[in-house]
Structure 1
Amino acid sequence: MARAKTTLKVIEHDPITIEIIQSSLRAITDEMFATMRKTAMSSIIYEVLDFGVAMMDAEGELASSGSGIPSFVGMLAPGIKSVMQKFAEPGDIKPGDVFATNIPHHGGVSHLNDVVLMQPVFSKGQIISWLANKAHWVDVGGTFPGSISVDALDIYQEGLQLPCIKVIEEGKENQSVIDILAGNSRVPDITVGDFWAGIASMRSGEKRLQALIKKYGDETVRVAIAEYIALGEVMARNGLKKLPKGVYSATEKLEDGRLVRAVVAITEDAFTVDLRGNPKQGGNALNSSKDATIVDAQMIFKAITDPQSFANAGSFRPVEVLTDEGSIFDAQYPAATSVYYETGMILFDLIWKALAPSMEQHLTAGHYGSICGTFLGGKHPDTGKEHSIVEPQLGGWGASLDSDGVNALYTGQHGETFNVPVEVAEQRNGLMIDRLSLNDAPGGEGQYIGGKGINLDYRIIGEDWWISMVYVRSKNGPWALNGGLQGSTNYINVVRKDGKEERYSSCTALRLEKGDVVQVVTANGGGYGPPRKRRQESVLSDLRNGYITAATARDIYGIEA
């Protein structure tokens, strides 16, 4: 394989040209993102935007990223490096090749559903860049529909494994691999459609990048990429210098009672997250790979240092993450990981909790703290075909030192993610939505109140349906700050057609019948400050808006309505 040398030749270039190229890199990844959104088959991609795209340099370092899930983008570089490690001989990687991987324990993958596609871009016989796409595919086989279950004992139960393979070779698809993808999915048309959407996304990026190379020359483009990454590091280190130095820690109980802990040390040169001493990986799917864990730390670092600018490899150079191999934050093969995102959400929230008391100008009280991934499927009432849907849920954000929390927003991990509109869910997914409203349960009271979660009711109108889900923070609500009150909790109620109610914080392929209703309830965020310090006019406004009852106004806020 011909690779670009990491030491660039010193060339004359003007800063305006370099900045134009760097802006073009962002435009290229934005076009990749738009292409994926426009061509995908599943609503989890084209509506929710549960995917990420990126451009790397020749060595697999993140150079530019599009919109989408930040954690997906952050894990793409290790995927490229796994390809370079496996296909290391000269000629192993050729123009037109596309690689795929989805094994979580190496290669920048989170769980088997999150399939990574990667394509090298060549100039003058050498790799000048890599393009990558990572998206959640709704079903990749395995024991459980949707390929998701907290009860999975190992990765073999979770679906088809793609061990860093070529799916397209020199521009020609490997039809046998595509047939295997289709043959192992319960929704083969959607799976193959989302595969080709990912390919289209990268091909659009390659077209634009080659035009850029033709216009400015490959050496100038290499320099622009290298300087862009270097600029990212300068901005990150400048942001690090402004943070309060010290050691911060927080603990949290998992739903099963185990204790997890994060220790964050901030110095002039490093942002270190120490996760050593945490529980060992378990015999279920609540395990996270180290690549996924690192991204959780990177996202918090970016949020408190330089949240508004671009992100690339340089943006995260000061971040160091320490783990024990074989722990829930560094699970080893063949540990199950299909609901890794809830463990990742716990860690993201834990680092946040450790830093928030000292960084109230950056960080709010705790938010609903769960992806609340809801996986539903069955025979579509219109077509009779097997159909699967995936929806993360909105929830309440914590209050801050000077404002109430935001209602019905996705988690801090989600980035530019959207909920599926009621009309789309009903028309495309074969469900009825009986209700979508703010959660009026108590919780999150304070001088500033936590944002409201949601109530979302799915009515099943097809036969042979099922639901799988895991919601953390089902026992302990989001944490508060400075005397505020804890938020509420996440869970679902299944109301059977005979009126019987069943409450769950997790379930796997729970059978649903026509006429059953799944009631999703997500948490209100934590409050900030003592409730008795809330302004009277704010309490009365809360009462008028239905956020609180007259009893709450009297008992919690000390105001007679």
Structure 2
Amino acid sequence: MFNDDPITLEIIQNSLRSISDEMFYTIAKTAMSPIIYEVLDMATAITDPKGELASAGAGIPAFVGALDKSVKAIINKFKPEGINDGDIFITNDPYYGGVTHLNDVVLIKPVFMEGELLAWAVNIAHWNDVSGKSPGSMSVDATEIYQEGIRIPAVKLFVNDEPILSVFDMLTANSRMPEFLKGDLWAQISALRLGGKRILSLVNKYGRSSYVHAVESYLELGQAMAEKAIKALPDGKYEIDEAQDDGSHLSVAIEVSGSKLVIDLTQAPIQSPLPINLSKDGTMLACQMALMGLIGDRQLANGGCFRVLDVKTRSGSIYDVQAPGPCGIYFETMIRLNDLIWRCLAEKVTDTLPSGNFSSICATIMGGKHPDTGQHYSIIEPEIGGWGAGDGFDGANAMFCAMHGDTFNCPAEIAETRYGVTVGQVALNDEDAGAGEYRGGKGVVIDYVIRSDNSFLTCAYTRNKIAPWGLNKGEDGSVNRVEVIRTNGEIEVHAMASEVTLDTDDIVRVITANGAGFGDPKKRKTAALVDDINNGYVSLEYAKAKYGFDATHGGSYE
């Protein structure tokens, strides 16, 4: 018999979320790498025995949605007879359940009670270096996945709670930063073990039947919330075709019918020889993030939410890559697709959805010999930028894009201590862009001063030529880019580049885009515009040109 008291079910459901969060902060407190313990480039989750997402901790939305897919890949490969108490599995390969790219390493632990599989504890984190042709294991010019690092094709890392040392040896031997790798790996292992213990404690307290019923009812709640969000959209077909920075075009066709959402991506370009491809699961993930944006409740993310979603892809396309296509810069295609879906809906549903944002991970990878220790260092930074305005609100300043969610920018003090660079400035982007009745949010400008010769920069930025899109007469935003300022004053501008040579006192200047505006700029209230000018968000010249604002006589509109 199970207890179907709603209070008990709610306690179990909230306990699962708490367990996921506790696993998350276990990694954050024990990991070696700032990309994990400061930026929080990771995620944790619990699934049911079939791999359905039952709860998710804090972390990157793009990672949370990857974890259930990784579990299902393990189930499919090993079958029930190959999965035992005391096992821990590991994968990073998008062709073997890794979903994203080789830097993102997934660890998975089955949770058994009296010989019966009850749940899976799972986590993912971005490792600094997993081999490959370029330091940091990311390059924008890789032409096959073999160049991107060591592939871990969903294998066992532990058996009978004992580590398989040969697997550990292969991992550390294939990293330029083995000590960081070992520290991060053991942090993830510790989180899985903790999660398993907490799940068993929860089941012992409330009983197996009540636990299973609570998970099932929570999935049903997720489905009901998703159906409600889709029903709020007008039924019909939505289509869009958008030019990209590289001259290509991406298109999407969306059909809303009652509580069902169909996203058709079969007209996508063929898979690229460059590392911008998405696995089919990665494409599903981008679509799921858009759906969760409509639902609007980040903590509700579970497998039930996605039962209403049907995503159609074409094998061999950029959204359904086939081996050995490279995937290292998958994240830019993922955020481009997520933004495209959002724009497709927003241009029809302008009363609730905002205009375009900087929508890029703006991945910034720098490295070389640490000037203090002589050891190899590697900076791996996603960047924050400006979000778009909506009906009744200005865009947010300096926030991560939709793919990164609950993460943080790395503090200047940590960057200087751990990375061997000097942070010259962290400021809001003062470029004039994103005018509207409600203005777009501001991006950032960050200067990294290099402290050792023969260092390097790799970067992967989109929205470098095609600016964030305005709505209802709102102005477009600005664009993302990196400037390398040489000691002789020369300035090089980059967006997609691999291993640009840097020397002592060169400055790497990150510039992220300002979001787009919403509504006619001439309708912006005088007081709000004066505040913008006083806060340095817009210049007087821009206010006059875009808003028709006259600073004389106390400030007025022409």
Q: 2:17 aligns with which of 21, 26, 30?
A: 26
Are the aligned partners of 2:56 and 2:299 in contact in 1 as well (CA < 8 Å)? Answer: no
Task: Render the CA deviation track for 1:14-70: whole Å, top value 9, x for unaligned.
Answer: 332222211111111111111011111111111111111000001111101101011
Equivalent in 1, 13, 17 of residue 8 of structure 2: 17
Other-structure match for 2:83: 93
User: Where does residue 489 of structure 2 map in the other structure?
Assistant: 499
Counterpart residue number, 2:41 = 50
C-alpha displacement of 1:125: 0.3
Amino acid at match of 1:385: Q
Quote the Cα distance in structure 1 between the aligned partners of 2:332 and 2:284: 15
> Amino acid of the residue matched to residue 190 of structure 2?
A
When normalised by structure 2's length, the TM-score is 0.97
Tell me which residue corresponds to 1:539.
Answer: 529
Q: How far did 1:538 drift?
A: 2.3
Partner of 2:290: 300
Question: Structure 1: 5+ residue runs without aligned partners?
Answer: 1-9
Q: Distance in 2 between matches of 1:437 and 1:82?
A: 43
Quote the residue 1:6 is aligned against: none
> 1:443-480, CA deviations, whole angstroms, 9 ceiling, x for partnerless residues?
11111111111110000012331111110011111000
8 Å contact kept, 1:77–1:108: no
Give the TM-score taking structure 1 as reference length: 0.96
Which ranges in structure 2 are unaligned for 5 or more consecutive residues? 552-558
More displaced, 237-246 or 69-78?
Answer: 237-246
Q: Deviations over 1:90-125 (max 9, x none)?
A: 2x2111100011111341420010111100000110
Could you tell me which residue of structure 2 aligns to residue 65 of structure 1? Answer: 56
Return the alpha-carbon distance in structure 1 between the equivalents of residues 525 and 213 of structure 2: 56
Once the 2 structures are TM-superposed, how far is the Cα of residue 402 of structure 1 from its aligned partner? Answer: 1.0
Shift of 1:151: 0.4
Deviation at 1:82, TM superposition (A): 1.2
Partner of 1:374: 364
Tell me which amino acid in the other structure corresponds to 2:12.
I
Moved more, 232-241 or 518-527: 232-241
Per the alignment, in what secondary structure is the counterpart of residue 279 of structure 1?
Answer: coil
Give identity over the alignment, percent: 45
The corresponding residue for 2:437 is: 447
Alignment of 1:254-293 (within 5 A): 254-293=244-283
Query: CA contact under 8 A between 2:70 and 2:99: conserved in structure 1?
Result: yes
**In the TM superposition, what are the counterparts of 1:483-498 in structure 2 within 5 Å?**
483-498=473-488
Residue in structure 2 matching 1:354, options 322, 326, 344: 344
Partner AA of 1:363 in structure 2: L
SS at match of 2:543: helix
State the AA in 1 paired with 2:13: Q
Using the alignment, how far apart are the partners of 2:304 and 2:7 within structure 1? 21
Quickly say closer, same or farther: Cα 1:459–1:206, change in 2 above 3 A: same
- Over the aligned positions, Cα root-mean-square deviation in angstroms equals 1.3
Q: Which residue of 1 aligns with 2:499?
A: 509
CA 1:106–1:163: 2 relative to 1, 3 Å: closer
Match of 1:203 among 193, 205, 208: 193
Contact 2:98/2:104 (<8 A) preserved? no
Give the AA of the match of 1:78: K
| 1:288/1:330 contact within 8 Å kept | yes
Q: Which residue of 1 aligns with 2:32?
A: 41
Which range moved further: 537-546 or 412-421? 537-546
AA at the equivalent of 1:476: I
How far apart are the structure 1 equivalents of 2:36 and 2:446? 20
Give the aligned residue type for 2:408.
Answer: F
- 2:78 paired with 1:84: no
Contact 2:96 2:153 in 1 (8 A): no
Matched residue type, 2:124: K
Please give the alpha-carbon distance, in whole angstroms, between the structure 2 residues aligned to 1:50 and 1:482. Answer: 35
* 1-structure distance, mates of 2:296, 2:495: 35
Residues 250 and 268 in structure 2, CA contact (< 8 A), matched pair in contact too? yes
Deviation at 1:277?
A: 1.0
Aligned equivalents of 1:45, 1:160: Cα separation in 2: 20
Contact 2:240/2:344 (<8 A) preserved: yes
Q: Which residue of 2 aligns with 1:5?
A: none
Q: Which amino acid in structure 2 is aligned with residue 314 of structure 1? A: G
Structure 1 segment 61-460 matched on structure 2, within 5 A: 61-88=52-79, 90=81, 92-307=82-297, 309-460=299-450
Change (3 A) 1:381 1:342: same
1 CA distance for matches of 2:522 and 2:251?
A: 32
- What is the deviation of 1:360? 2.7
User: What residue in structure 2 maps to residue 477 of structure 1?
Assistant: 467
The alpha-carbon deviation at position 291 of structure 1 amounts to 0.9
**Aligned pair in 2 of structure 1 residues 181, 291: CA closer, same or farther (>3 Å)?**
same
**Helix, strand or coil: the match of 1:436?**
strand
Kept after mapping to 1: 8 A contact 2:440/2:518: yes
Q: Tell me by how many angstroms 1:220 deviates.
A: 2.3
Residue 531 of structure 1: how far off its partner (Å): 1.6
Distance 2:298 2:147 in 1: 40
Distance in 2, matches of 1:134 and 1:494, equals 32
**Are the aligned partners of 2:268 and 2:317 in contact in 1 as well (CA < 8 Å)?**
yes
Are the counterparts in 2 of residues 447 and 529 from structure 1 also a CA contact under 8 Å? yes
SS in 1 for 2:153: coil
Between stretches 422-431 and 432-441, larger displacement belongs to 422-431
Following the alignment from structure 1 to structure 2, what is the Cα–Cα distance between the partners of residues 552 and 274? 41
SS at match of 2:549: coil
| C-alpha contact (below 8 Å) 2:2/2:207 kept by paired residues | no
CA contact (8 A) 1:286 1:328 kept: yes
